Amino acid sequence: MYDANHLAHRLRAASVGREDAPFLRHVGTDRVTSYGDFFANAERIANALRRMGVHVGDRVAVQAPKTQTMLELYLGCVLSGAVFLPLNPAYTESELRYFLGDATPTLLVCDAQKHAALEGLARNCAVPNLMTIAADETGTLADARDAERPGFDPVPRNADDLAAILYTSGTTGRSKGAMLSHGALASNSETLRDYWHFTSDDVLIHALPIFHTHGLFVATNITLMAGGSCLFLQGFDEGAILDVMPQATALMGVPTFYTRLLRQFGLAYAARNMRLFISGSAPLLAETHARWQEVTGHAILERYGMTETNMNTSNPYDGERRAGTVGFPLPGVELKICEPKTGAELPRGEIGMLEVRGPNVFSGYWNMPEKTAEELRENGFFLTGDLGRVDEDGYVHIVGRGKDLIISGGFNIYPKEVEAVIDDLPGVLESAVIGVPHPDMGEAVVAVVVPQEGRGLMEAQVLAGLEGELARFKQPRRVIIADDLPRNTMGKVQKNALREDHAGLFASA
C-alpha cells in the first residue's frame, strides 16, 4: 500500500507481513519496538503533520535527542511528502537561527528541555509550529501522535522528489543544505544492503547519532530495508556496546568507536559472534585496522561517503579489506580522479580530486544555485573536495583534502567558521584554525591567535568568548597565542607549517 511513495515503499517492503518482528531493541531497557508498531506510529505522525498544516515539500526541522520518536517522525515526513531536516543537538541558538532562517520550516521539533528557550527564536524566525521530543520518548509530538489513528495513504512521491535536507558546513563559513531525493537515499541503501549482505537475521549495534547520513541513512535505512533489527543506544557508550555485542551481528561506527573499543577488556570474547564491523566518516588509521584484526580476528570494512553523495566506495565484503583504503566504487557509482583546476581526468595512480556521479548524488544545495553550479558539474559529476588516487588493483585511497576541513570524531568543522567567531572577539587581530592529530578524535581543533598590538590575551579568554556562539565540538581544544601567523609570499597563511609546528600537541593525550 506504500507503492506510490518511492522511499517509503522501499523502507517498508522487507517487513510487510512481519508486523511482530523486532525493529528496535532499546538497550538498557526491556523495550522492543516491532515493525508493526513502528510503522503504525509513523502513520499517526503523518496524520498529525497533516493536521497541523505541514504540506508536501514543507520542511520539518528537528533538533532532538536520539529517540524512536525521532525515527518515527523521519518516516512520517517521508510518508506525507514533507522534507526531513535533522540538526545536531549541539548547535547553539545562534547557529540554529541560521538554519531556521535559511530553510523556513513549517515545524520545528526541539528537545523538550529547550522548549522555553526556543519559543522566542521560533517566533522570530516565523516558524508556525513548535513541538517537542524528550529523551524518554515523551513530549508534545508523542502526544499528538497518540491522539491520531494509524493508517495513512502515503503521498505519491517519485525518485526525484525531495526527502531530506542535511546541512553541511561550507568552506566560506555558511552552511549549505544538501537536498537529498527519495531516489538518492533509496538507491544507496539498497546498494549497501546487498553489498554488505544485510538480511533480516542481522542485529546492528546502533550507537551513532541520527542527525547525519551515517546513523540515519546508512544504519537505519539499511536495517529497515533488510528487515533486521537495531540494538538502539541513545549515544556512544563503549561499555554498553561491549555488553550487547554477543547478541549482535554488525556494528557501524566512526574511527573513534574502534579506538575506544580497543581499550576495553573482553573485546575479543564479545566480538565472537559478530559478522561485520564497518567504519567511515573519517580516515581509519591502518594501525587501528591491524590492531582490531589482531584482537578480534575481523578486518574492519572501511567505506567512504559524504552528506552530498551518501556512500561512494566500499572495501569488499568477500575480498581483501585493505587497510588505509576505502575500497572500490559501489555498483552504479562512477569515480574519477581529476586535475583539481581543469577537471581533466588523470591517469591511474596519480593524485587528484575525487569526482563522483551516480543515483546516490544529491540534487543541489537548498537556495544556493551558484554553489550548486560550482560543485556539481552539468554532466552530473560532483566535486568532492577530497584528494585521492586509485592504486593498481583499483582500491581508492583518500590522501588528503583539497578543502580546508577538520574531521573530529566524525564531525566536520570548517576552520573558516571558527576563525570568523574568534576574529570578532575583543583584543584579537587574527587567527588560524587547524586540525592536529588526536589519539581519540582523530583530529582536534586548535586555534592559533594573534592579539591586537598592545593587548594581552589568554587562552581562557578566547575559549570563554566562544561559549554559546559555537557548538562544543567546534570549539578549539587548545588556543595558542602567537606573535604572528606564518605567511607565504602571496600573503596566504601557511596552515601546513602551523600543522607541523603543533603536530605533537596531543601526542600523549
Of 318, 224, 215, 212, the closest CA to residue 23 belongs to: 224
Q: Say if CB 125 and CB 101 are below 8 A apart.
A: yes
Per CB under 6 A, the list member of 208, 241, 330, 428 interacting with ligand MLC is 208
Give the torsion through C-alpha atoms of 104, 107, 109, 113, to 10 deg: 90
Beta bridge partners of 10: none
Q: Which lies closer to ligand AMP via its Cβ, residue 68 or residue 408? A: 408
384 binds ligand AMP (CB under 6 A): yes
187 binds ligand AMP (CB under 6 A): no
Q: What does the H/E/C string look like for 113-159?
A: HHHHHHHHHHHHCCCCEEEEECCCCCCHHHHHHHCCCCCCCCCCECC
Minimum Å gap between C-beta 265 and ligand AMP is 28
Per CB under 6 A, the list member of 99, 195, 196, 304 interacting with ligand AMP is 304
129 binds ligand MLC (CB under 6 A): no
Which cell numbers hold the place of 23?
Answer: 525493529
Minimum Å gap between C-beta 306 and ligand AMP is 4
Which cell numbers hold the place of 65?
Answer: 535527542
Pairing of strands 310-314, 328-329: antiparallel
The site partner of 409 among ligand AMP, ligand MLC, none (C-beta below 5 to 8 Å per kind) is ligand MLC
189 binds ligand MLC (CB under 6 A): no
Q: What is the C-alpha separation between 447 and 435, in angstroms, rounded? A: 9
Burial 274-304 (b: 16+ CB within 10 A, else e): bbbbbbbbbbbbeebbeebeeebeebbbbbb
Minimum Å gap between C-beta 451 and ligand MLC is 24
Q: Which lies closer to ligand MLC via its Cβ, residue 186 or residue 446? A: 446
Please give the residues from 429 up to 458 whose contact with ligand MLC meets the rule CB under 6 A. Answer: 441
Q: Say if CB 440 and CB 256 are below 8 A apart.
A: yes
Minimum Å gap between C-beta 429 and ligand MLC is 26
282 binds ligand AMP (CB under 6 A): yes
301: amino acid identity, one letter: L
Please give the residues from 385 up to 404 whose contact with ligand AMP meets the rule CB under 6 A. Answer: 385-386, 398, 401
457 binds ligand AMP (CB under 6 A): no
Per CB under 6 A, the list member of 106, 256, 279, 288 interacting with ligand MLC is 256
The site partner of 401 among ligand AMP, ligand MLC, none (C-beta below 5 to 8 Å per kind) is ligand AMP
139 binds ligand MLC (CB under 6 A): no
The site partner of 236 among ligand AMP, ligand MLC, none (C-beta below 5 to 8 Å per kind) is ligand MLC
DSSP 56-109: TT-EEEEE--S-HHHHHHHHHHHHHT-EEEE--TT--HHHHHHHHHHH--SEEE
Q: Say if CB 184 and CB 160 are below 8 A apart.
A: no
How many residues of this chain interact with ligand AMP, rule: CB under 6 A? 19
408 binds ligand AMP (CB under 6 A): no
The site partner of 31 among ligand AMP, ligand MLC, none (C-beta below 5 to 8 Å per kind) is none
The site partner of 326 among ligand MLC, ligand AMP, none (C-beta below 5 to 8 Å per kind) is ligand AMP
Angle at 212 between CA 198 and CA 76, to 5 degrees: 80
310 binds ligand AMP (CB under 6 A): no
**Cβ-closest position to ligand AMP:** 307
**Backbone dihedral region of 409: left (phi > 0), alpha (psi from -120 to 50 degrees) or beta?**
left
Please give the residues from 81 up to 110 whose contact with ligand AMP meets the rule CB under 6 A. Answer: none
Q: Which lies closer to ligand MLC via its Cβ, residue 154 or residue 255? A: 255
Minimum Å gap between C-beta 122 and ligand MLC is 24
The site partner of 315 among ligand AMP, ligand MLC, none (C-beta below 5 to 8 Å per kind) is none
Mapped onto helix, strand or coil, the DSSP state of residue 26 is: strand
372 phi, psi to nearest 5 deg = -60, -45
Secondary element (H or E) of residue 499: helix 495-501
Contacts with ligand AMP by CB under 6 A lie at: 168, 213, 280-283, 302, 304-307, 326, 384-386, 398, 401, 407, 412
Contacts with ligand MLC by CB under 6 A lie at: 208-209, 212-215, 235-236, 254, 256, 280-281, 305-307, 408-411, 441, 472-473
